[in-house]
Chain A
C-alpha cells in the first residue's frame, strides 16, 4: 500500500529527521550542562526564527513520516485499503501536525 511517492516522502522525511534529532540531543545536553532554567531557555527560543524553523521542520517531517508508517502498519495488519486508508493517513498526519504545531508555537512564538 505504498506508491513510489509515499515511499520517497517517508524516506526523505526520515533523512530530514536524522540530523534534527542529533541537533536536538546536542542542544539538550548543552542546556542541561549550562544549568539553564526553563525561563532562560524560553527566553532564547521564543521569537527565534531559527528555532521555529528547526522544530517546525521536525514536526512537519514527523507528521509526514509517521502518518505513512502507520498507514503501512494498518494495511498490513488489518487489510484496510481504499478511501478509509487515505482518510486514516490524512487524519494521522494532520493530527500530528496540529499537536506538534501547538508545541512549536508555545516554545518559539512570542
Chain B
C-alpha cells in the first residue's frame, strides 16, 4: 500500500512516499511504526498506550483527525492510499509529532484546573451519582485529551485565540460539578477572551471525537449559562 507521511519541522516540510506491506488487521499506528522500524528510524511520532487510553497518538489521516492506535487502515484507506500528517491547528515539532502546548494551555485558560472546595482536614464530600449536575458532568469525563476535536475545529483554524472544544467541554464539566464552589469563576474564564461565544456550532468536534463525547452540546450549555448570567447583569 502507498503511504505518504509528513516529514519536516516547524512550518517547513513535505510528504514522503513509502511502500508498506498491507495486513488484514492493521492500524494506522502500526503503519507508522513499521516505517520507523523497517525503513527510517528517524521518523518522529508519538504514542504510548496503543489502546485508546492515553490520547497521545492522534494524527491527520487522509485529511481527517484520528486516534491512530484505534483506527483500522481498512476503514480509512482511499484508493489504496494513506496520507498521514501531524495534527491540524497545532505547531509541528517534527514529522508527525505536534506540539500540544497550546492545546493544554487553553485547558488552563478555560478554567479547567480543579480548585478543591474543602481541605484535607474536612470530611470527604458525598456526591450522589443521581444528582443532576453530576449526571451532566459524567458525560465528558472520558475525555483523553487527544486533541482530535481541536484539530477538527474550523473555528480554531480561523481564530487561534479560540479555546476550542476540549477545553470548553472541561469547563462545562467543572461548572456542573457539585464539588466546585465558585461556578461563576469558571463561567468567567469560559466567556473570557477566545471563549465559548466564538463557537459556530457546526459540530466537527462531536463528529470526530473518538470517544463519542459531545463537546458541541457542552459548549451550547456554556452559552446558555453565559447568556443567563449576562441577563442577570453580570456582563
Contact = CB atoms under 8 A, between A and B. Distances in A.
Interface string B192-235: 01010110000000000000000000000001001100110001
Contacts of B158: 75-77
A72 B197 CA distance: 11
A76 B231 CA distance: 27
A3 B161 CA distance: 12
Contacts of A5: 230, 235
B159 A3 contact: no
Interface residues of A, number: 13
B198 A4 contact: no
A2 interface: yes
A18 B201 CA distance: 20
A4 B159 contact: no
B191 interface: yes
B155 interface: yes
Nearest to B198: A2
Which of A2, A6, A75 has the most chain B CB within a 10 Å cutoff?
Answer: A2
A75 B159 contact: yes
A7 interface: yes
Interface string B142-173: 00000000000001001101000000000000
Nearest to B234: A4
A31 interface: no
A6 B227 CA distance: 11
A88 to B, nearest CB: 16
Interface in A26-79: 72, 75-77
Interface string A1-33: 111111110010000000000000000000000
A4 B226 contact: yes
Interface string B104-141: 00000000000000000000000000000000000000
Interface residues of B, number: 15
A1 B227 contact: no
A3 B155 contact: no
Contacts of A6: 197
B89 to A, nearest CB: 13
A26 to B, nearest CB: 29
Which of B155, B191, B193, B197 has the most chain A CB within a 10 Å cutoff?
Answer: B197
A89 B105 CA distance: 30
A4 B155 contact: no
A3 B159 CA distance: 13
Contacts of B191: 4
Contacts of A1: 159, 161, 198
Contacts of B195: 4
A12 to B, nearest CB: 9
A43 B172 CA distance: 55
Contacts of B198: 1-2, 72
A43 to B, nearest CB: 41
A80 B197 CA distance: 18
8 contacts: A1-B159, A3-B193, A4-B195, A5-B230, A6-B197, A7-B223, A75-B158, A76-B158
